[in-house]
Amino acid sequence: MTMSLTPEYRYEYHKKSVERYLRNHVAIAHPRSLYMPCKYILSAGGKRIRPVLALLACEAVGGAMEDALPASAAIEILHTFTLVHDDIMDHAPARRGRSTVHTKWDESVALLTGDILLGIAYRELLATKSSRIQEILKVFTDGMITVCEGQAMDKEFETRNRVHVNDYLCMIEKKTGRLVSVSTEIGAMIGSGTAVQVQAMRRYGFYVGRAFQVQDDLLDIIADEKEFGKVIGGDLQEGKKTYLLLEALRRAKGKQKKALEDVFHKRKVARSRVAEFRRIYEETGAISSARAQIENDLHAAKEELAGLPSNQAQKTLLWFADKMLNRKY
Amino acid sequence: MTMSLTPEYRYEYHKKSVERYLRNHVAIAHPRSLYMPCKYILSAGGKRIRPVLALLACEAVGGAMEDALPASAAIEILHTFTLVHDDIMDHAPARRGRSTVHTKWDESVALLTGDILLGIAYRELLATKSSRIQEILKVFTDGMITVCEGQAMDKEFETRNRVHVNDYLCMIEKKTGRLVSVSTEIGAMIGSGTAVQVQAMRRYGFYVGRAFQVQDDLLDIIADEKEFGKVIGGDLQEGKKTYLLLEALRRAKGKQKKALEDVFHKRKVARSRVAEFRRIYEETGAISSARAQIENDLHAAKEELAGLPSNQAQKTLLWFADKMLNRKY
């Protein structure tokens, strides 16, 4: 049915399938004080990258995307659980243009909403029909544990005196990369991929996930504010230890190093100084380094696709890596 | 090896096996900021009722208790996850004589500790070797979701104007009962029990779990403070809506009803007035009602054991129900 779609349309089609599945399978049950915020946050939109990649990975190895729908929804719900809890920890007032759960309700509700989302995620995953269900659950659970480890590392970095850019890459591999690689790995398993195909899809997800996070850091400083949908320099203003800050710190000397160290230690930069830091990031080569990191990762991701059958889903995964390279938001 | 043990010794033996398993399988890994609190809370002791009942249920249907060890540890870890998150929501300073995780560290650490505990729980459960693994995981996940629903109901009750004692029973069935019935149900499944045996073990856990919670409410008012290890009347002082308060409210008239309604609405009772409320609970028949509720549940629990093979584990489950009836702490 979806054989002759353009990659763009195929992506949208899969995204809509996931959203329909989420709407139909996560009902407002009792107690409503718990299920209302679940519905609220699951319907908040977002790019749905993880579940769509899971569906594509399933098709890319020859499976039917419908078989991977419950698992792809499970992955999106798991991702949503991490957002709800992270937002509590970060005291974030808004996400995707809407109030966060702990702002709209309260922290207890948000805590419990995150918890039950995780239960619902497992419930949906368990609806998967596959002889490899135990293996699939192990990968999913490993992803869940790894995301928590990544978030704990991120929190540790906030108060650490030294963070190398390699520590940062290790953190985002856990916090962001692993869940994307879980998506493609599980998708390929449900599609009955061979061990080699499953590993290739896992690595594709890993590279894409890591590139995505570094690109998020980059867009925070170079994007068009309107297109990006977030304030430019937001990371600097929040004193976040990003790829750019850590890479610039490693490369800078003299006054520039001093300015970066101030950000690192004292945190938070006035909005008026964002342009100054953008210049430092350019002059130290941190921006070129981030670009190279992203390009290398996306190139590696595409190489992983070479061994797969050349079908529409594989083409969409190739297109997705290229699109990421040029994404503006 | 454990064939001729007394029930008491068998319980202790199984408890020690669970604790050894937890020590050996939950290691302090990186990041330490996350795994230190995990170790701390898992080694805090407690009665370990759920995992021991899981092991006994496995043996009662003819299985080997070693087969149920990973699952029993998973259940204890799941239970611990609920404690860590509940303590955040309740702002509880201490549990089992030690500082709670959010007090010893902070709320973010406690939030994340609970989250990763849940991941570790699934990881251990997935170490179970059983052809019924998908079914076992569904029961476990249903338990996890149900506990969250129970906790949300408990939170709702705090601000509700009317709570019937039947609402309360429904809440504790979810918040406490289900996880005990998950324990015995999963234990029996791992022991390859028949469908009838698994259902009997599930119901045994349900009755025991519900009785346990009502008894907790009762002991709060009638226990010996030293033996109980908690302050008598603590629930009244915290303004908790317990079985006793709701049942007394349903039965009381005049001045007594007024006093109970004050607790219900204004919450929190001075320590000096605990004896007065104990008298009201006695005179309205709330205490007799709680006793009858507990006795009926434990009687029903024991009846469920009648269809099982008469072995040492079955005898220990019988002994456990009797011991609960007479527990002082």
Chain B interface disruption, residue of A112, A128, A132, A146, most B CBs within 10 A: A112
The count of CB pairs under 8 A between chains A and B is 106
For residue A1, tell me if it sits in a domain: no
- The residue of chain B nearest to residue A106, with distances taken between CA atoms, is B89
State the pLDDT at residue B1.
47
Average pLDDT in the B4-14 region?
92
User: What residues make up the domain containing B139?
Assistant: 7-325
pLDDT of B93 above 80: yes
Determine, for residues A114 and B118 on separate chains, whether the beta-carbon distance falls below 8 Å: no
- The residue of chain A nearest to residue B36, with distances taken between CA atoms, is A152
| Contact in structure between B298 and B323 (CB atoms under 8 Å) | no
Q: Which residues contact B147 (CB under 8 A, 6 or more apart)?
A: B78, B82, B174, B175, B178, B179
Nearest-by-Cβ selection for B108 from A133, A145, A155 = A155
State the pLDDT at residue A1.
47
Confidence bin at A310 (pLDDT 50/70/90): very high
State the pLDDT at residue A265.
86
* Sign, Cα dihedral of B159, B160, B165, B171: negative
Average pLDDT in the B8-13 region?
96
Lowest mean pLDDT across A139-148, A168-177, B260-269, B300-309: B260-269
Q: What is the ipTM of this complex?
A: 0.95
Nearest-by-Cβ selection for B112 from A109, A116, A152 = A152
- The residue of chain B nearest to residue A154, with distances taken between CA atoms, is B31
State the pLDDT at residue B329.
66
HEC secondary structure over A240-270: CCCHHHHHHHHHCCHHHHHHHHHHHHHCCCC
pLDDT of A251 above 80: yes
Chain A residues with CB-CB distance to B under 8 A?
Answer: 30-31, 33-34, 85, 88-89, 108-109, 111-112, 114-116, 118-120, 122-123, 126, 133-134, 137-138, 141-142, 144-145, 148-149, 151-153, 155-156
Determine, for residues A120 and B149 on separate chains, whether the beta-carbon distance falls below 8 Å: no
State the pLDDT at residue A270.
87
Average pLDDT over chain B, rounded to whole? 94
pLDDT in tens, B212-226: 999 999 999 998 777
User: Reduced to 3 states, what is the DSSP secondary structure of residue B111?
Assistant: helix
For residue A2, tell me if it sits in a domain: no
Closest by Cα among A250, A265, A280 to A165 = A250
| Closest-CA distance of chain A to residue B141, Å | 6
Average pLDDT over chain A, rounded to whole? 94
Determine, for residues A111 and B133 on separate chains, whether the beta-carbon distance falls below 8 Å: no
Contacts of A173 in chain B (CB under 8 A): none
Q: Classify residue B143 by burial, with Cβ atoms within 10 Å: 0-12, 13-18, 19+.
A: buried
- The residue of chain A nearest to residue B123, with distances taken between CA atoms, is A141
Determine, for residues A31 and B120 on separate chains, whether the beta-carbon distance falls below 8 Å: no
What one-letter code names the amino acid at A179? L
For residue A198, tell me if it sits in a domain: yes
Determine, for residues A144 and B33 on separate chains, whether the beta-carbon distance falls below 8 Å: no
Confidence bin at A86 (pLDDT 50/70/90): very high
For residue B77, tell me if it sits in a domain: yes
Chain B residues with CB-CB distance to A under 8 A?
Answer: 30-31, 33-34, 85, 88-89, 108-109, 111-112, 114-116, 118-120, 122-123, 126, 133-134, 137-138, 141-142, 144-145, 148-149, 151-153, 155-156
pLDDT of B2 above 60: no
Beta bridge partners of B95: B98
User: Reduced to 3 states, what is the DSSP secondary structure of residue B94?
Assistant: strand
Chain B interface disruption, residue of A115, A160, A167, A173, most B CBs within 10 A: A115
Determine, for residues B115 and A112 on separate chains, whether the beta-carbon distance falls below 8 Å: no
| Closest-CA distance of chain A to residue B126, Å | 7
| Full-model pTM | 0.96
For residue B1, tell me if it sits in a domain: no
Confidence bin at A329 (pLDDT 50/70/90): low
Average pLDDT in the A239-264 region?
94
Nearest-by-Cβ selection for B134 from A126, A145, A148 = A126
pLDDT of B322 above 90: yes
Nearest-by-Cβ selection for A144 from B119, B141, B148 = B119
Average pLDDT in the B49-65 region?
98
pLDDT of A211 above 70: yes
Number of domains in chain B: 1
What one-letter code names the amino acid at B284? T
- The residue of chain A nearest to residue B112, with distances taken between CA atoms, is A148
State the pLDDT at residue B265.
86
Chain A interface disruption, residue of B79, B132, B134, most A CBs within 10 A: B134
pLDDT of A326 above 80: yes
| Contact in structure between B204 and B49 (CB atoms under 8 Å) | no
Omega prior to B37 cis, within 30 of 0: no
pLDDT of B28 above 70: yes
State the pLDDT at residue B198.
98
HEC secondary structure over chain A: CCCCCCHHHHHHHHHHHHHHHHHHHCCCCCCHHHHHHHHHHHCCCCCCHHHHHHHHHHHHCCCCHHHHHHHHHHHHHHHHHHHHHHHHHHCCCEECCEECHHHHCCHHHHHHHHHHHHHHHHHHHCCCCCCCHHHHHHHHHHHHHHHHHHHHHHHHHHHCCCCCHHHHHHHHHHHHHHHHHHHHHHHHHHCCCCHHHHHHHHHHHHHHHHHHHHHHHHHHHHCCHHHHCCCCCHHHHCCCCCHHHHHHHHHCCHHHHHHHHHHHHHCCCCHHHHHHHHHHHHHCCHHHHHHHHHHHHHHHHHHHHHHCCCCHHHHHHHHHHHHHHCCCC
User: How many helices, marked H, and strands, marked E, lie in chain A?
Assistant: 17, 2
The CATH code of the domain that includes B70 is 1.10.600.10
For residue A248, tell me if it sits in a domain: yes
Say which residue the tokens 């800050």 belong to: A245
Contacts of A156 in chain B (CB under 8 A): 31, 33
Measure the CA angle with vertex B208, ends B206 and B209; round to 5°.
65
For residue A262, tell me if it sits in a domain: yes
